[in-house]
């Protein structure tokens, strides 16, 4: 029996592939021959089609909400869903790059490979979280442990807000953070440059070559830090627009900082990038009066550094007009210390030294608060970090009672 034309056509021509349904996402090759998968604004790229599709399918689950989905998600999967939410907030300018970087580091380094990550969110309880915290206690400092705790706290709050978890869900209520005294990894001691080192350090940092040029390009910046207590990012973000006059004297208004963050730009050629951004905490936005030494350093920098190619009003630059890196500043500090015959210090030691010297001059509670404001730090943090009593001083106070 002869075949119909329709039957012959059906046999000779391959059947067209069914189109992906709306909501399935898209999967295609780009102009560079890479496989690309897109789903709800998220893009995945790779060499192997199946791997790219698997990554997209994983995110399909993570962007869904509802108790039925949550019951199937492990802590690891829900952590990825939470991070995806934060990525979208970041794209909308509602969540800082540095904060997102910090969350991702905590998730990938402390949570993702832990036993806790394998637990279903619907089964997660306080005892399991406590075991997780206790396991971290043998490996990390209190700062790292707190970051892991805060990640879980934020993730659970997100789950309740999304109605993935019931409002009564509160497994952290029974979880205790360890006392720092029992931890094997101690918080690094703060570095403070002794008063007797300061004259030699300043002399070396401000030295000149025979032709009159600065021996150390960032020497004045480091001396400026000793007199203002600015953080490293705040020093790199110094700008002409921050210089002001307050009560008849020069001051500097701190309103931005330089941060190194993960480069999330499309087709990024570098893993990280540096950005100018507002300080992390509102209290870090502050106005600091400048003493004579700070003023001299500022004027020297204004007249010495090349014009910035990043933004016209920025003061501190490399010879090519770019933003210096934190490494540039530390290397300069290392060379100055070596030439001066002084031990090694990190750049943050300059801020600690400024704070400690100021606190020695304080005589009352109001002046302590003023120091905290100058540092852009919380008052309780300043007291805990810098105020240490000496046994000899205690004895002197008791003796005052019978004087």
DSSP labels for 212-256?
SSBSSTTHHHHHHHHHH---HHHHHT-BGGGEEEETTEEEEEE--
The domain that contains 297 carries what CATH number?
1.10.443.10
Region 175-198: mean pLDDT is 92
Question: Do 50 and 71 fall within a single domain?
Answer: no
pLDDT band at 131 (very low <50, low <70, confident <90, very high): very high
State whether residue 139 is helix, strand or coil. Answer: coil
Per-residue pLDDT band at 71 (split at 50, 70, 90) = low
Section 67-86 average pLDDT: 81
pLDDT of residue 149: 98
106 and 50, same structural domain? no
In a domain, 347, yes or no: yes
Paired with 38 in beta bridges are 26, 43
Gap between the Cα atoms of 205 and 200, Å rounded? 9
Q: How far apart are CA 84 and CA 357, in angstroms?
A: 45
Q: What percentage of residues in the chain have a pLDDT greater than 70?
A: 87
At residue 274, does pLDDT exceed 70? yes
- In the chain, the number of structural domains is 3
Q: How far apart are the C-alpha atoms of 25 and 20, rounded to whole Å?
A: 7
Alpha carbon 290 to chain centroid, angstroms: 28
Q: What is the dihedral of CA 318, 321, 326, 330, to 10 degrees?
A: 10
Are 208 and 243 in the same domain? yes
Quick one: pLDDT at residue 403? 61
Q: Report if residue 397 sits inside a domain.
A: no
Q: pLDDT at position 314, please?
A: 98
Q: What pLDDT does 334 receive?
A: 98
Picking from 161, 182, 203, the residue at the C-terminal end of a domain is 182
Does position 67 have pLDDT exceeding 90, yes or no?
no
User: Looking at residue 267, what is its pLDDT?
Assistant: 85
Instruction: Please tell me the pTM assigned to this model.
Output: 0.76
Residues 379 and 281 in one domain: yes
Sign of the C-alpha dihedral computed for residues 251, 254, 255 and 256 taken in this order = positive
User: Is 391 within the bounds of a domain?
Assistant: no
Tokens 């039957």 sit on residue: 7
φ, ψ of residue 252 to 5 degrees: the values are -130, 130
- Let me know whether 331 and 361 are in one domain: yes
**What pLDDT is recorded for position 363?**
86
Same domain, yes or no, for 209 and 348?
yes
Q: Yes or no: say if 69 and 61 are a contact pair by the CB < 8 Å rule.
A: yes
At residue 205, the pLDDT reads 98
Report the pLDDT value the prediction gives residue 56, as an integer from 0 to 100: 80
9-53 tens-digit pLDDT: 444 444 544 455 545 678 899 888 889 888 755 678 888 888 888
Listed in sequence order, the residues at least 6 apart from 361 whose beta carbon sits closer than 8 Å to its beta carbon are 367
Same structural domain, 288 and 372: yes
Verify that 208 and 81 share a domain, yes or no: no
Same domain, 262 and 160: no
Domain that holds residue 50: 34-60
Identify the CA nearest to 51 among candidates 34, 64, 63: 34
Question: Is residue 111 a contact partner of residue 79, using CB atoms and an 8 Å limit?
Answer: yes
Model confidence at 339: pLDDT above 60: yes
Q: Do both 160 and 229 map to the same domain?
A: no
Query: Residues 230, 224: contact at Cβ < 8 Å?
Result: yes
Q: Is residue 29 part of a domain?
A: no
Contacts of 146 (CB under 8 A, 6+ apart): 177
Q: How far is the CA of 130 from the CAs of 122, 299, 350, in angstroms?
A: 17, 54, 38
Q: Is the pLDDT of residue 6 over 90?
A: no
Q: Rounded to an integer, what distance in angstroms lies between the CA atom of residue 250 and that of residue 291?
A: 8
Nearest to 316 by CA among 210, 233, 229, 207: 233
* pLDDT above 70 for 329: yes
What is the average per-residue pLDDT within 293-308? 96
297 and 320 inside one domain: yes
**Is-contact 349 197, C-beta < 8 A?**
no
Whose CA is closest to 324, among 303, 346, 308? 308
Q: What is the CATH number of the domain that holds 132?
A: 1.10.150.130
> Given 25, 60, 95, which residue is the final one in a domain?
60
Whether residue 13 lies inside any domain: the answer is no
Q: Note whether residue 166 is domain-resident.
A: yes
- In whole angstroms, what is the distance from residue 111 CA to residue 104 CA? 10
Residue 399 lies in a domain: no
Residue 62 confidence class, pLDDT cut points 50, 70, 90: low
Minimum mean pLDDT range among 214-223, 310-319, 375-384: 375-384
Give the per-residue pLDDT at 241.
Answer: 97
> Domain check: are 136 and 233 in the same one?
no
């Amino acid at each position: 029996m002869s075949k119909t034309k329709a039957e012959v056509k059906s046999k000779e021509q391959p059947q067209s592939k069914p189109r992906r349904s709306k909501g399935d996402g898209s999967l295609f090759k780009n102009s560079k021959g890479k496989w690309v998968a897109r789903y709800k604004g998220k893009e995945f790229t790779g060499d192997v089609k199946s791997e790219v599709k698997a990554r997209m399918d994983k995110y399909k689950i993570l962007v869904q909400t509802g108790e039925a989905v949550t019951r199937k998600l492990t802590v690891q999967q829900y952590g990825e869903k939470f991070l995806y939410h934060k990525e979208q907030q970041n794209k909308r300018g509602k969540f800082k790059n540095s904060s997102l970087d910090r969350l991702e580091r905590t998730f990938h380094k402390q949570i993702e490979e832990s036993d806790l990550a394998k637990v279903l969110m619907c089964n997660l309880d306080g005892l399991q979280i406590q075991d997780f915290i206790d396991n971290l206690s043998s490996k990390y400092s209190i700062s790292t442990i707190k970051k892991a705790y805060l990640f879980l706290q934020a993730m659970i709050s997100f789950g309740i807000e999304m109605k993935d978890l019931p409002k009564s869900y509160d497994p952290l209520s029974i979880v205790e953070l360890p006392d720092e005294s029992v931890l094997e990894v101690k918080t690094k001691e703060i570095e403070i440059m002794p008063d007797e080192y300061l004259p030699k350090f300043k002399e070396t940092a401000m030295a000149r070559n025979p032709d009159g040029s600065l021996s150390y390009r960032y020497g004045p910046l480091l001396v400026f830090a000793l007199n203002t207590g600015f953080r490293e990012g705040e020093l790199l973000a110094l700008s002409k627009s921050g210089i002001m006059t307050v009560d008849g004297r020069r001051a500097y208004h701190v309103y931005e900082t330089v941060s190194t963050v993960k480069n999330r730009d499309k087709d990024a050629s570098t893993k990280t990038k540096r950005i100018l951004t507002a300080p992390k905490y509102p209290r870090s936005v502050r106005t600091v009066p400048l003493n004579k030494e700070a003023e001299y350093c500022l004027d020297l920098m204004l007249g010495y550094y090349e014009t910035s190619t990043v933004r016209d009003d920025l003061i501190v630059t490399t010879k090519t007009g770019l933003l210096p890196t934190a490494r540039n500043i530390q290397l300069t500090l290392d060379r100055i210390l070596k030439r001066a015959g002084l031990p090694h210090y990190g750049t943050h030691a300059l801020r600690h030294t400024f704070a400690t010297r100021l606190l020695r001059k304080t005589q009352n509670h109001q002046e302590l608060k003023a120091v905290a404001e100058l540092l852009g730090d919380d008052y309780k943090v300043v007291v805990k970090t810098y105020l240490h009593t000496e046994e000899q001083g205690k004895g002197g106070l008791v003796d005052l009672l019978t004087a």
